[in-house]
Structure 1
Amino acid sequence: MDGGKTGYTENAGFSLVSSAVKGKMRLISVVMGTAGSQIRVNESRQLLNYGFRFFETLQVATKDEVIYEADVWQGNRDSVAVALEQDLFLTVPRTQAASLEQELELEPNLKAPIAKGQTIGKVIWSVDGREVKSSEVKSASDVEAGSLFKRLKDAFLLWLSVVLADIGRLFSGAS
């Protein structure tokens, strides 16, 4: 243990908030309602040991690492790099680390201009279908508006894609 705060009240009994670090994983333990000061220390130690034994911390994203190239409409470039603004760590049960999944949700039909650092979607991490963390993703660079011809061409192509999608839904019976 590398830090802690003890307490006692008649209603809550002996309590202890403590933290410990092992490798790159920090755990915080909160124990309340014990009958004595040594019991709270023992319970906290057991809880921290359990956490270190059965959980692991994974670095799932690195600051400024490009995770995707997103299509951009009406810009001076056809795509923009997508990145997170910070390192991201997740603590998960060791038995579930292999089933950690990542899903990227971007704003549909990104249109220029796009500023560096602008939020353009989010990334979601899940284990066995349960979301455990989400974080905004940002544009890693600026994308300026394209030429008049490029903007008109992309506006037409966007319109055409919407019309064709509607026709497809009409014939498939979907609403």
Structure 2
Amino acid sequence: RIFFAENSTEQLPVASISKLMTLVLALEALAREEVALSDIITASPYAASKRGTRIWLEAGEEFDLETMLFAIAVGSANDACVAVAEFLAGSEEKFVAVMNQRAQELGLSATKYYNSSGLPEENGEENLMSAQDVGVLARHALTVPKLMEFVSTYEYTMRPETTGIPVLWNANRLLRRYYGVDGLKTGFTTKAGYCLAATAKRDQLRLLAVTLGNKDEADRETDARALLDYGFRKYQSVELYGKDAVVGALHCAAGEPMRGDVVLKDDFYVTVERGKEVDLKTVVEIEPGLRPPLSQGTVVGTITAFYGDEQIGAGAIVTGTAVKKAKLSVLIFRLGRLLAQAVF
């Protein structure tokens, strides 16, 4: 849900916020077990040639994937970014094609990537996104295993066993300056200005703030603070039901038991404006035609929360106990009882 937006669909250069997609793709590959954090990446001459923020890779120098990802997430290292892109796809060009394909899959309609890092191309082209697209990507990034471990890190030392150079510092200063901020990514080029996608969590409420095209770091931080302040001031996360709370009943004519409780799979929180939680309503929907056997914890439907006509949250509901297939003798008994009720 978007709580505040201004020019949010305008396509703009986003500089190193582009690296968020590079991190997403690398860690999605890790989750699929296509790569391992211990895999060794060898820097190509092309990767080592990248300028701007970097870790001063030399052609032939080797680091494991985990170290390279910290270099990207913390130091916004362009050379490390290209090295990871080449490692994952064989070339940066092929990796950029994957970036754009993944953008389409995520519904990022205003996004166009030209490279993996966000550096300006020689012809002046720069990676483009809208603030809304950045928000959607950031929201997805929150679900990618291990990603927050990287983007929440404030300081990281390269080559600790030798030179200890460089020491990388996260440009997202809100990690140390704003209560609850725990990650994502900054960016800067002359054309893009100062950009930031930041996320913060207080209690059970997580917010995302995106600001693009700021004139300087202070302006970027001010805008991000204002967005987060607005969200935390106006909205709250409310627990409607706890995990395993009974919210309905499952009737299964061929099951044993024939009637069983339907419960919440997880704690059910929704985000709502402060003071309006009393006006919420919930609707429980159980899938029709369910047949035994159903093991305990099987997802059988959804619970949805509404404020007026607006859907503000949904969660899975599951079987509270296992439902087995009823024996033939039990089914015959039930049928006889139904017939008797129909006659009398």
Q: TM-score, normalised by structure 2?
A: 0.41
For residues 30-70 of structure 1, what are the alpha-carbon distances to aligned partners after superposition, in whole Å with 9 as ceiling and x for unaligned?
11111121011111111111111110111223222222232
1:153 is displaced (CA, Å) by 5.9
**TM superposition shift of 1:116:** 1.4
1:91-138 CA-partner distances (Å, limit 9, x unpaired)? 122253222211011123544322212221111111111222222211
Query: Are 1:145 and 2:316 matched, yes or no?
Result: no
For residue 157 of structure 1, report the CA deviation from its aligned partner: 9.2
Query: Displacement of 1:11 after TM fit?
Result: 3.9
Mapped contact 2:252–2:292 kept (Cα < 8 A): yes
Amino acid of the structure 1 residue aligned with 2:207 = L
Structure 2 gaps of 5+ residues are: 1-177, 339-344
Map 1:1-175 onto structure 2 (within 5 A): 1=178, 2-4=181-183, 5-108=185-288, 110-152=290-332
Bigger helix share: 2
Q: Deviating runs (4+, > 4 A) in structure 1?
A: 152-158
- For the structure 1 residues 9 and 153, does the alpha-carbon distance in structure 2 shift closer, same or farther, using more than 3 Å as the test? farther
Mark the CA change 1:35 to 1:73 in structure 2 (over 3 Å): closer, same or farther. Answer: same
1:3 and 1:150 map into 2 onto residues whose CA distance is 57
| RMSD of equivalent CA atoms | 2.5
**Greater percentage in strand:** 1
Partners of 2:243 and 2:310 lie apart in 1 by: 24
* Alpha carbons 1:66, 1:81 under 8 Å: kept: yes
Letter in 2 for 1:3: D
Q: What fraction of aligned residue pairs are identical, expressed as a percent? A: 27
How many equivalent residue pairs?
158
